[in-house]
Structure 1
């Protein structure tokens, strides 16, 4: 959970209804080997043997298709297509038991662009965010052209923009399935872990997403990594890649 630097109390995520996991919706490749076995001929006489042919498809993993350069640059190894979901926007404050959700925007540069383009600009209370719906779909990304990500929130004016190309303390990071989360992210059972992020972590503090997914996590309100507010939950995006 996260508050702005001006606020002292964190706010909880408000869940609306029961939703199908976007991790399941985003899954585009098998997670286990699949295949078939054929025999020729299909009818044989006693004492003869058919020829058996195996056809096995092994699951793809995103590391075969993109290179992750820490902390958060993603570079396609071939031309790909991607979809983007906003999993959650966690900058909030509370006054007199009233929660304020701050407008937050995620941005990116890709395909050699030199300027930042908006991925999404809105609040945690927006329907598409609460449903973790796709905000960018069928985006073609080019081989060897780096994808970088940025975020910031609005409080009277746009606050500091943090990017995946910024130096320490690395406020924008990219993780894939099986990665161990940064220690700044609360443990799976910690009350300070945002509800929108919990389905994407396991009890071992590892990332649990699809094999062709990359999760982008951002800290937008703090730079002191020892501060309890530095928890990398201010803006969380899920990028799902596939072949064109």
Structure 2
């Protein structure tokens, strides 16, 4: 770990103190629609899924810089220079790790773990003056393979804490694509990422949803979506999450119909990097030296271990 002179130490203390913060794993909010987590209906998987009950979203990459800072000795006399040690893990965003290919293909850039959850199924049919939820199916295609069912049921079968599909060590360019359809007196049309349809859309934190997704305060917005939009109507999810909106009851040609709202099936895809980017304090913070650029800094004497890549 690098030690610094007193002037440099003062600067580092200020920066690090501003960056350090406690954090806890992100827990998926309830969908506010009375979903009681009673299973996911007749869902099946490709053998990589994990349907353990109430598995919380434990994204291990923080949304803000976190870390630690120590000084030794803790009490010093005038003129004495303490030794500082620190470690900072910087926030990451999902687009650092995957490419989002519109409208709904996710292409990993490096090895990642992935989990998929269902946030809600908004397909309904009218019955007199009321609306009843009907069954719908969510599908996933991995690495160009066939689409397979990962969920089947009504909105009452949705538990947003349940992982319906997961896979460890997804390799670069092993794509994820999504699809869905509903069942009511027979199967409706299947819409998937592979068909180039706008009925399946992927967004990340801070994105503005398509105009067909009602604003946060709109009475037509499904309750299960509200926890994932802020008051300005932007997507509010974790920094390593991707949200998938689907329209299953109307085609692209019916985009101006009031029923085309992209709320019929909503998924949350969470990625975890096995190599989060961080800096352990003796490289890029001061001298810019590490194993990725040895010998290119002006202050070679400050690098205590040029063989360590501080970005990893």
TM-score range relative to shorter protein: 0.7 to 0.9
- Indicate the larger mover: 37-46 or 73-82: 37-46
Contact 1:26 1:210 in 2 (8 A): no
**Secondary structure of 1:165's partner?**
helix
- Seen in structure 2, the aligned counterparts of structure 1 residues 30 and 14 have a Cα distance that, compared at 3 Å, is closer
For 1:26 and 1:226, the matched residues in 2 are separated by 38
User: How far did 1:99 drift?
Assistant: 3.7
Contact 1:88 1:132 in 2 (8 A): no
Question: Which residue of the partner structure matches residue 48 of structure 1?
Answer: 80
Aligned counterpart, 2:267: 237
Taking structure 2 as the reference length, the TM-score comes to 0.66
1:123 corresponds to 2:177: no
Structure 2 alignment gaps of length 5 or more: 1-31, 37-53, 275-312
Seen in structure 2, the aligned counterparts of structure 1 residues 91 and 130 have a Cα distance that, compared at 3 Å, is same
Say if 2:230 and 2:236, in contact at 8 Å, map to a contact too: yes
* Alpha-carbon separation, structure 2, partners of 1:155 and 1:241: 33
Q: What SS does structure 1 have at the residue aligned with 2:194?
A: coil
Look up the match of 1:149: 178
Structure 1: runs of 5 or more not aligned: 1-12
Equivalent position to 1:93, from 125, 137, 159: 125
Partner SS state of residue 199, structure 1 = helix
Post-superposition shift, 1:111? 2.8
Task: Measure how far apart 1:130 and its partner are.
Answer: 4.3
Q: Per-residue deviation at 1:138?
A: 4.4
| 1:102 and 2:134 matched | yes
Matched, 1:219 2:247: yes
- 1:228 to 1:179, Cα distance in 2 relative to 1, 3 A: same
Deviations 1:64-117 (A, max 9, x none): 11110110100111121111111000111121345432211111111342x111
Aligned match for 1:68, one of 100, 103, 107: 100
Distance 1:236 1:34, change over 3 A: same
- Give the structure 2 partner of residue 28 of structure 1: 60
Runs of 4+ aligned residues of structure 1 deviating over 6 Å after TM superposition are: none
Q: Which has the higher contact order (CA 8 A, sep 6+)?
A: 1
